[in-house]
Amino acid sequence: YLNFKRLKYGMDEWEELRSAVSNCTKCRLHEGRRHAVLGEGPLNAELMLIGEAPGAQEDMTGRPFVGAAGKLLNDMLGEAGLSRDRIYITNIVKCRPPNNREPLPDEEEACLPYLIRQIVLIRPRLAITMGKHSSAALLSMAGVRINGISEVRGRLRSIKVGDVELTVLPTYHPAAAIYNPRLRAAIVGDLRIAASFMS
């Protein structure tokens, strides 16, 4: 009975978040979206992957990382011994920027509270931030400013998000690795570190 109540309480909070994101008009990106992409995966995942923003396929389906970058991500997860269905996958920005341009600072700022809410509800132990946008956003919560992804990639850092103690591991964005075997190998290496975190 108690467990059921706890679960029900948690589900209400997710429904609230899902509906807030679906109906969000806090920045200009809502104008062109078909679907806001909240994220997917187990709500008690130990590992969270955080990308940049939905692309065309993601906007169409409402699911994260289902296009070309997503296929590569799936391959790299497999190589690192991780299974996607145990990971919660999301983005720093939930709506697709026009022509897949990079998200603007005010768009990230408007969207960040949703990611913080996801982290507080899921309570992952490790978050892999993929690319400079999500890496910069999470590290800024620890007061760390970065100029590029290379200076922090592959280095673990503890941060606090709400009441959650979280280890952050920045890596390259999978889209950057599509034609670059060196970046691909680096990402797989970082995912292997993540695999060693999983119980």
Helix, strand, coil content of the chain in percent (nearest 5): 50, 15, 35
Nearest residue (CB) to ligand URA, 124 versus 174: 174
Contacts for 92 with CB less than 8 Å, ≥ 6 apart = 50, 51, 52, 53, 103, 108, 111, 112, 115, 133, 134, 137
Q: Which residue is nearest to ligand URA (CB)?
A: 51
What does DSSP assign to residue 198? -
**121 near 14, Cβ under 8 Å?**
yes
What stretch of H or E contains 68?
Answer: helix 68-79
**Is 107 among the residues that bind ligand URA (CB under 6 A)?**
no
**Is 103 among the residues that bind ligand URA (CB under 6 A)?**
no
Nearest residue (CB) to ligand URA, 162 versus 175: 175
Nearest residue (CB) to ligand URA, 10 versus 148: 148
Q: In terms of DSSP bridges, do strands 126-130 and 87-91 run parallel, antiparallel, or are they unpaired?
A: unpaired
Question: Which of 11-19, 49-57, 161-169, 183-191 is the region at the interface with ligand URA (rule: CB under 6 A)?
Answer: 49-57
Tell me how far, at minimum, the Cβ of 175 lies from ligand URA, in Å: 6
**Is 54 among the residues that bind ligand URA (CB under 6 A)?**
yes
Of the residues 48, 58, 153, 183, which one makes contact with ligand URA according to CB under 6 A: 58
- Which residues sit opposite 88 in a β-bridge? 48
The count of residues interacting with ligand URA (CB under 6 A) is 13
**x-or-dash string of contact with ligand URA, 126-155, rule CB under 6 A:** ------------------------------
